[in-house]
Structure 1
Amino acid sequence: MKKKLKFLFVLFVFGLMITATVPVKAQCAMCTATVETNSENGGAQAKGLNKGIMYLLAAPYLAIGVLGFIWYKKYRRKNVDLTNMPNQKLNLN
């Protein structure tokens, strides 16, 4: 039951993070000038450029998240009874 509640909470927080985004406009001066000129003439280059920037920004965070998840799954401790432990090395994997 606790695992389901924890999963639903994480899913809820993730959903809030996805839906509550603020448009970001982070560009160099040359890109800004080119995009402004293009959008004034009726082009749609600005939206594509902003989406590309956000994609490049999200990629490292996604990679670190995947590596963290793999590390957690591989090295987390299993349920071990510490009261009746023998004097030998344990293999927890």
Structure 2
Amino acid sequence: MKNKTLFSLFSFLFFLETNAQCAMCRAVLESGEGQTVAEGINEGIVYLMAVPYILVGGIAYFIYKKYSKLKK
């Protein structure tokens, strides 16, 4: 069970390529000279998007674990 959880967590976090910018942000950032700013903004958006899902998933896991112990 522990291996499945770790595998699913790592496979969720390590996508090959994710594009999290809205169309307006992407147009403004791509019109600039350097692409490093656009990549940095994109990585920041993905990070901010992933953290709440990980926290909610962790809380749900601990609640499930607690209730499964109570049923036994």
Which TM bucket (shorter chain)?
0.5 to 0.7
Structure 1, gaps ≥5 residues long? 1-5, 81-93
Q: Comparing both structures, which one devotes a greater share of its residues to helix?
A: 2
Distance of aligned partners of 1:29 and 1:78 in 2 relative to their CA distance in 1, 3 Å threshold: closer
Q: Which structure has the greater CA radius of gyration?
A: 1
Structure 1 consecutive aligned stretches of length 4 or more whose deviation exceeds 4 Å: none
Q: Which has the higher contact order (CA 8 A, sep 6+)?
A: 2
Structure 2, gaps ≥5 residues long? none
- Which residue does the alignment assign to 1:44? 36
Give the one of 12, 21, 25 matched to 1:27: 21
Alignment partners' CA distance in 2, 1:54 and 1:78 = 37
- Which residue does the alignment assign to 1:8? 3
Count, aligned residues: 71
TM-score w.r.t. length of structure 2: 0.67
User: What value does the CA root-mean-square deviation take over the aligned residues?
Assistant: 2.5
Sequence identity percentage: 37
Alignment partners' CA distance in 2, 1:27 and 1:79 = 44
Alignment partners' CA distance in 1, 2:69 and 2:53 = 25
State yes or no: 1:62 paired with 2:54: yes
Q: For residue 51 of structure 1, what is the amino acid of its counterpart?
A: E
